[in-house]
């Protein structure tokens, strides 16, 4: 029997990747060398105190995502990088980074507990890195992430190096959802998700140049927005071009029909001049794109993935800042 690869199948049926970014308030990224087992935080190098903390946060249903990360040097290092990305409130460009360089992974749980109780630990450092890009390579969780994530990570590393982008770090990451869109990545501090990436689309995302239409295929959405708003945001990106990535935004669902067939959403943004615009949009369930498929390589049955289309989009209000001499 042929091995099933969920990513190959999603590509074959042409699933639209938009609206699949997950919405977390906080990402806690812990450097930890692979191999990682399927139940990530039970992996060999993860200490007991960190396992307990992750379990407590999970039980309390806090909007926090713990991930393991590693790069090519993680095995040789005598320290551990801890990154905490916290979502900014209101109109924002995404998340704020807090970075810590710890003597070992055993110290992570203590620092995170302090941080969660509102105390900024003294070990916080400043770095020249302005972007952290996570590529899921977690093959023990889903084979597509090994098959497509690992080679993509290797070539993406080379692309960043060739372009001399010294302020961008790339990390292998444990599972963050959407393996059927492998190779898949999160671009922090923005918190934007991408999938079905190749080196050409990745280069456009890195440099914000090239054909903006490539985002129609690879943009999963912005993690600060609810899934429905991610669809509206893609429309506005395509209309505004790469400049959009310098804007601050916020979005919310205003109303939703009982059968979920229509959604009314609102997305506000502030452009680089400081002008404020609010768009509203009506989304309708798109029967032609709604699919029944297996969400992962190991899924035993299909799930329904409802897709929406923008039925209408209009400018609800604007406050233009005009410069006077």
CATH topology (fold) of 6-216 = Glutaredoxin (3.40.30)
Q: Do the domains spanning 6-216 and 225-319 agree at the CATH topology level?
A: no
Length of the chain as a residue count: 325
Whether residue 189 is preceded by a cis peptide bond, meaning omega within 30 degrees of 0, is yes
Residue-level pLDDT at 213: 95
Domain ranges in the chain?
6-216, 225-319
**Pairing outcome for strands 64-70 and 26-31:** parallel
Residue-level pLDDT at 182: 80
Residue-level pLDDT at 180: 81
**What's the average pLDDT block by block, 10 residues per block, for the chain (325 residues)?**
62 80 95 90 93 96 95 83 94 95 94 91 81 84 73 92 94 86 93 94 95 94 94 95 96 94 96 94 89 65 82 94 63
- Is residue 235 a contact partner of residue 279, using CB atoms and an 8 Å limit? no
CB under 8 Å to 228, separation ≥6 — which residues? 19, 253, 263, 265, 283, 308
CATH for 225-319? Answer: 3.10.450
**Secondary structure letter of residue 160 according to DSSP:** H
Whether residue 183 is preceded by a cis peptide bond, meaning omega within 30 degrees of 0, is yes
Residue-level pLDDT at 292: 66
DSSP character string of 95-146: EEEEEEEESSGGGHHHHHHHHHTT---TTEE--S--EEEEEE--TTT-HHII
């Amino acid at each position: 029997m042929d091995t099933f690869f969920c990513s190959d199948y999603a590509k074959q049926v042409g699933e639209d990747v938009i609206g699949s970014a997950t919405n977390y308030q906080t990402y806690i990224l812990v450097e930890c060398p692979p191999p990682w087992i399927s139940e990530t935080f039970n992996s060999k190098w993860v200490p007991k105190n960190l396992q307990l903390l992750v379990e407590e946060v999970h039980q309390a249903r806090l909007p926090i995502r713990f991930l393991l990360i590693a790069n090519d040097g993680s095995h040789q290092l005598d320290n551990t990088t801890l990154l905490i990305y916290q979502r900014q409130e209101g109109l924002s460009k995404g998340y704020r980074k807090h970075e810590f360089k710890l003597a070992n992974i055993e110290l992570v749980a203590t620092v995170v507990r302090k941080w969660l109780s509102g105390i900024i630990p003294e070990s916080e450092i400043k770095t020249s890195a302005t972007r952290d890009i996570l590529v899921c390579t977690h093959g023990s969780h889903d084979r597509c992430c090994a098959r497509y994530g690992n080679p993509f990570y290797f070539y993406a590393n080379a692309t960043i190096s060739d372009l001399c982008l010294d302020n961008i770090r790339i990390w292998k990451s444990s599972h963050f959802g959407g393996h059927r869109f492998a190779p898949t990545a999160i671009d922090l501090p923005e918190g934007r998700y991408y999938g079905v990436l190749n080196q050409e689309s990745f280069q456009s995302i890195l440099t914000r140049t090239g054909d903006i239409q490539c985002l129609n295929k690879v943009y999963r959405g912005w993690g600060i927005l609810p899934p429905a708003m991610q669809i509206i945001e893609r429309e506005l990106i395509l209309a505004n071009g790469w400049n959009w990535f310098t804007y601050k935004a916020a979005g919310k669902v205003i109303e939703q029909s009982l059968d979920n067939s229509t959604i009314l959403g609102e997305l506000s943004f502030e452009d680089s001049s400081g002008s404020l615009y609010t768009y509203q949009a009506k989304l309708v369930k798109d029967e032609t794109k709604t699919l029944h498929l297996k969400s992962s390589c190991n899924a035993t049955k299909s799930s329904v993935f409802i897709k929406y289309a923008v039925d209408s989009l209009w400018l609800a209000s604007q406050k233009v800042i005009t410069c006077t001499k």
